[in-house]
Amino acid sequence: MEQALFLKKGQHYLSGDLQFQFCGISRTLPYHSFGPAIRECFVLHVVLEGKGTYHVKDQKFQLSKGDLFLIRPGLTTFYRADAEEPWLYGWLAFSGETTEEIIRHSAFGEEGFTMISSNTHQYVEIIKDCLAFSQDSLLNELALNEKTYHFLGDLLKDGGKINASAEELSSPLALATVEYIQQHYAEKITVEVIAKYLAVNRSHLSRVFSKQMDMGIKEYLNGVRTNRAAFMLAYTQESVEEIAVQVGFNSLIVFSRTFKKSTGETPTEYRKRMRNNPLDEQTFTDVEEQLKRQAVVPRAT
C-alpha cells in the first residue's frame, strides 16, 4: 500500500474561468475624467491619494485615499478626479464566468460600488507585479490570470467596509452635459449651445452642473481640453500650435496659460519632461518615482 498525502475538493464554489484584462497606475491631472461609458468587464480602482467623484446608477460617491470603487459590466459610469487634489490610483480589470460570484462574496456584495479598504498596499503590489508581464505569451497570460486570482483573494480577505455614507443623488442632466463636452470639446461650444442641445434653460443647466461637479461648465470644458492636449503633447509629433487648435483653443496664449494653470508646466515644458522620460524604457520603480515627483498645482482662484 502506497503512502501518500492527498487532498480532494469536497465543494466547489465556482465554475468557469477568470481572465485578466488590463491594469495600470496613474497620477491623474486635475479634471481627469472617464465616461459616461459602459464597460464589458469588471474594473476595480484603488485610490492611493487625492479626491474625486464616481457616478453610477443615479448615485454619486465622494472618494479619497483608501477607497476602492468598482465598475460593473453593462452599467453606465462616470468618474472624475478633483481639480485641486487629483487622484493617484491603480486599477485592475477582469472578466469571466466566475467574476460575478467572487464579487458577490466580497464586501461589495451584489449591488455595492464603493468600499473603504483596510489595506490598499496589497492591491497595488499585485498591480505592480502584473506590469512586468507586458509581452504577449501563453506563459505571461497564465501569470496574469494567477495574479488576478490573488488580487481577488485579497479582496475577499479585506477587512474593510462598504462606503455608503458619502452616497448622493447623481444628476442625469450633469452627465449629459459631460458627455456632450467630451464629444464636442474641439468645437466652439458655449453654455448656451449646450443648453439648446439639451433643451433646458441655460441658468438651470449651470446651477445643476455646478452643484454636481463643484465647478462651472467652462472650467470643466477647459479641463477636458487640457487633458486631451497633455496626451497629444506626450504621444504625438503635432506642434504646440496645432494641438491648441485641435483641442478647441483659438489662441496659443490662452492655451498656454490654461495648461500651466492646470498642470504647473507650460505645454513645451510638459512635452520635454515626458519625452525625456519614455515609459517603455523605465522600470516600474522609475515610473513610480516619476509619479511621485509629477507637479500638481492647486487650481487658481
pLDDT 10s digits, 75-105: 989 999 988 899 999 999 999 888 989 999 9
pLDDT in tens, 202-225: 999 999 999 888 889 998 999 889
pTM of the model: 0.74
Name 222's Cβ contacts closer than 8 Å, sequence gap at least 6.
31, 258, 262
Average pLDDT over residues 140-166: 85
Model confidence at 18: pLDDT above 60: yes
Note the pLDDT of residue 152.
95
Q: State the CATH architecture for 19-162.
A: Sandwich (2.60)
CB count in 10 Å sphere of residue 227: 20
**pLDDT for the residue numbered 200:** 93
Q: What is the pLDDT of residue 10?
A: 56
Is pLDDT of 33 > 90? no
The span from the first CA to the last CA of the chain, in angstroms, equals: 82
pLDDT of 168 strictly over 80: no
Contact 265, 229 (CB under 8 A): no
In the chain, % of residues over pLDDT 70: 84
| Domains of the chain by residue range | 19-162, 171-293
State yes or no: pLDDT of 280 exceeds 50: no
Q: In the prediction, which pLDDT does 294 show?
A: 43
pLDDT at 241 over 90: yes
CATH code given to domain 171-293: 1.10.10.60
Q: How many Å apart are CA 81 and CA 34, to the nearest integer?
A: 9
What per-residue confidence (pLDDT) applies to 164?
Answer: 59
